[in-house]
Amino acid sequence: MILGGWYDHVTPALGMIRMSQAMPNSFLYLDPHMGHSFLGKLKCFLQLNVAFLKGSSFEELHDLAYSPMCASFPDLNEKQ
């Protein structure tokens, strides 16, 4: 699993895309609203990690990644 933000200036999205293409069966999630931080999206990223570690299928990870919780704008009032 490769997680990142589209606006990440430290690990650019293009590098993550290339890495996922080189790794068969990888799951790539690029948050369209984020950079190099999970602030405001901690719940989404934690749930994606737990689902991955529990052995969830690609389809289950995809559904979670595109659920309202993960597809929405960051919640800057989220407790960290």
The pLDDT confidence band at residue 22, using thresholds 50, 70 and 90, is very high
Per-residue pLDDT at 57 exceeds 80: yes
What is this structure's pTM? 0.81
Tokens of 21: 């293409």
Q: What are phi and psi of 30, to 5 degrees?
A: -110, 110
- Beta strands (DSSP E) in 19-64 are 28-31
